[in-house]
Every structure is written in structure tokens, then in C-alpha cells.
Amino acid sequence: MRDLRLPDAVVVGGGVIGCACALKLAEGGLNVTLVERDAIASHASGNAYGGLYASFGPGIPGPTLPVALRSIELHRELDPQLQDETGIDIGLRQAPSIDLALTQEAMIELFDRSAWWAAQGFDFEMLDQRHLREIEPGIAPDAVGGVLHNSHYEIDSYRFALALATAFERQGGQIRAGAVNGLSRDGDRVTGVALQSGEELAAGTVVIASGPWAGEGEIDGLPDLPVRPVKGEIIRLRYPEADISHRIAVARSYVARKPDGLVWIGTTDEEAGFDETATVAARDRIMAGALAIAPGLESAEIVEHTACLRPTSVDGLPVVGAVADGAIVANGMGSKGILLSHAVAEFVREIVTGEEASVAMPAEYDVGRFL
């Protein structure tokens, strides 16, 4: 008989990837313990913008496109259930967003990209200057046009991660506070994890979802993974004027009204090690990008400024799969972890239990490429 005190699986990391994997395994009837050293979603997963977009990003066009499309369907199917089960308002909504062109060259580039969006069946419309100004009166006077993406969705990433963790506990899963600093082994087989406190947790399978720290050599016995932190900052503004309503983006700069009325502006991509401080330099860069989009924001009040780290692999693609007998990694989600979480959890479940994922994991995601 199975010893109910011993977990079938230990998941390391309580970000969105660890929580989604833990829930999926617990739903499959496994006895699962999740170990988090800080707090659930206290890093990137709790501070992310929460955009669910399949029309751009690393691996798109490319291997991530089918996974991203399926991921949006999974959010639409599963998030309302999660919300009902946990009572946590995840805020899933269709959130049309605009790619803005500030120059004629940028507009031509958008037209060029639109051929690919049309071929994929994305729901979008090209906007001329007049149409643009009708729907977004607050945009810069020199904006020449844009694209309105109707197939974009958003969620509240912090509440989403909390809902995953809450649903996991309701399935009988255990959340433990602790820092994992080693893998226990019996010969080549991983048999559990060692905590900094000296305690060992035995488990049939260990899932390592420790975000950018997985590449740091913090977990003894975990092979070196080429995953690094890419710092991103976001500023929340109070801006009561009604002249901005959509998310409006120019390259990596964006301005977006969130459901609570605040305007979020972002973002940065910086290689700064594990530094998670919000800096004046990033604030100035983000403000400059936002004011080029919507000059009226000059009068806005800064309410909050956050910084966190995207776990990013050297080729920009997720890193999923077995690193040893009994140990699996789920990492490298970069700027798409909130979007990809449900699909990645299915990939991990397939590896552990054999139950087929609803979209095939691309071979390009396999951790084997780095081992």
C-alpha cells in the first residue's frame, strides 16, 4: 500500500509554473508537496503584466505558436473553473490591444507582419490615423496608424497563481515553506530533495520549477541549465483622464488601462543578475517610451514600481523534460510563463503519468538539447 505521508512528487518553486504543475499532478491523483522558499508568486509570477498573446513573442512564428494558441484555449476553459472553485477573481478577459506606428516605416512594417497574422487566422484590423484617434484620443499626435488585435486576452497574474495554489491545496496538495538545496539520490535515481534546514523529502518524482535560480547551481546535483534572469520593470500610474482604454504598444514600450482603473506602463529587458530593485534609470526609460505613446501621462501619479526576473534560456525557448531518472525541469518561460503555464503543466503530467497533453510538446523545448 502507498505510504500516504510520502509524496509521489515534490515540486520546487511556487511561481506560476510550479503551482500549475503541482495542481495538474494532484488532479491526476498524485500525492504532491510544493516547496517554496519565499511566498507563492512573490517573484515574476506575481508581478507580470498578465497578457495572453499568441501573435508575437519568442518562438512565434515557430514552435511556440501552437502551444500559445492552445494555452489561450486552456485559460478560457480552465480559469473560470479555477475561479469558481477558489472564489479568487482571476480577471480573465478579452482585451483587444493596439500595436501603434509612430512613423510611416513602422506602419509599413505592421502591414508586412499583418500578412502572417491573416494567414494564421488572427482576428485583427488595421487602423488609419482617424480611426485610431477615435478609439484612443490620448495617443501621440504624430501616430500614423496601427493594428487592433482582437484575439488578445489578459488575466491578473498574481491572483491566477494564488488560485492555482489554492486549488492545489483543495486537491489535498501540501505547500511547504523551505529552500531546496540539493537532490537526494539512490545511485543515478533522484529520490527526493534536501532542504536547507537539513530535512529531506523523499518523492518518486521531483519537478524543478525554480525560475531563473535554476541556472545558479543552488540545487546540488541539478545539472547546469543555461537559464538566466532577464529583469523587467513595470510602473502603475493613477491617470483619471478617459483618453486611454486599450493596451497600446510600440516595440517593448506599452501603456495599458487595467480593470482597476490604473494605467500600467512598461517594460525593460535588462541583464542585471539577480537584482530585483526598481531603479530610477528604468523608470526614466519606461516613462520616455510611455510619453511617446500617450503624452498626457505626464500629469499621472506614480502609484507603484516593480521589478522582477524572467527565467530565460539561451535560445529563448522553454526548457522542459527529465534531467535525471526521477527529476524533471519546467523552466525558461521567459516573457510567456503566465500564458504557457497550463500547457507546460500538461507536458510535465505527460512525462510523469503518461497522460497525453492536449497539445504536443515541441521537440525544441526538450531539456535534452542542453544536457
Ligand X SMILES: Cc1cc2nc3c(=O)[nH]c(=O)nc-3n(C[C@H](O)[C@H](O)[C@H](O)COP(=O)(O)OP(=O)(O)OC[C@H]3O[C@@H](n4cnc5c(N)ncnc54)[C@H](O)[C@@H]3O)c2cc1C
Smallest distance from ligand X to CB 282, Å: 10
The residue whose grid cell reads 482571476 is 90
Binding segment toward ligand X, per CB under 6 A, in 48-56, 91-99, 142-150, 346-354:
48-56
Cα–Cα distance for residue pair 73/55, rounded to 1 Å? 14
Torsion of CA 246, 250, 251, 257, to 10 degrees: -30
For ligand X, give the closer residue by CB, 144 or 210: 210
**Site for ligand X (CB under 6 A): which residue of 58, 156, 335, 362?**
335
Determine which residue in the list 48, 60, 143, 297 makes contact with ligand X, applying CB under 6 A.
48
H helix runs in the chain, sequence order: 16-27, 44-47, 64-86, 104-120, 129-135, 157-170, 280-293, 337-353
Binding mask of the shown chain, residues 284 to 313, with x at each position contacting ligand X by CB under 6 A: ------------------------x-xx--
**Among the residue ranges 1-9, 11-19, 23-31, 350-358, the one whose residues contact ligand X (CB under 6 A):** 11-19
Asked if residue 267 has a cis previous peptide bond (ω within 30° of 0), the answer is yes
Residue closer to ligand X, measured from CB, 19 or 244: 19
Assign 52 to helix, strand or coil. Answer: strand
List the grid coordinates of 115.
500578412
CB 98 within 8 A of CB 247: yes
Q: Which amino acid is at 182?
A: G
Cis-peptide into 61, omega within 30 deg: yes
Q: Which three cell numbers stand for residue 65?
A: 505558436
Candidates 166, 205, 267, 313: give the one binding ligand X (CB under 6 A). Answer: 267
13 binds ligand X (CB under 6 A): yes
Task: Give the residue with the Cβ less far from ligand X, 13 or 138.
Answer: 13
| Binding residues vs ligand X (CB under 6 A) | 12-18, 35-38, 42-45, 48-51, 179-180, 209-211, 213, 218-219, 232, 234, 266-267, 308, 310-311, 333-339
